[in-house]
Amino acid sequence: MERSDLIETIKQSILDNGETLPEGLLITEDTRISELELSSISFVELIFSIEEAFDINLEINAANPIHTVGEFIQCIESEIQKK
């Protein structure tokens, strides 16, 4: 799967969970997670949505934090490759 497809999946998962994205925000790999303006609960829901969509288990916690969409994609890709 292309990284642009993963970005679109992330965006769609956010919208499917009833969240809105900041107006005019173009999501790229360099976009900081904080720029998505998601609450902690909304971010956890995003993680669950991605895990369900790809049948994976993401290891995101204080010991393995992510700061950008690109880092989130790397985490997703890493788990997909383990399958």
Total number of domains constituting the chain: 1
**How much is the pLDDT for 63?**
67
Locate 7 and state its tokens: 């970005």
Alpha carbon of 42 to those of 2, 17, 38, 64: distances in Å? 25, 8, 6, 18
Give the integer Cα–Cα distance in Å for 57 and 45: 13
Residue 18: the pLDDT is 93
CA 45 to centroid of chain Cα atoms: 10
How high is the pLDDT of residue 61?
Answer: 74
State pTM to two decimals: 0.89
Beta strands in 1-83 (DSSP E): none
Given this model, what pLDDT does residue 62 score?
Answer: 64
Please give the pLDDT value at position 9. Answer: 96
Instruction: Give the pLDDT of the chain (83 residues) as one tens digit per residue.
Output: 899 999 999 999 999 999 999 999 999 999 999 999 999 899 999 999 999 999 999 987 766 789 999 999 999 999 999 98
What CATH code is carried by the domain that includes residue 19? 1.10.1200.10
**Structural domain for 28, as ranges:** 3-82
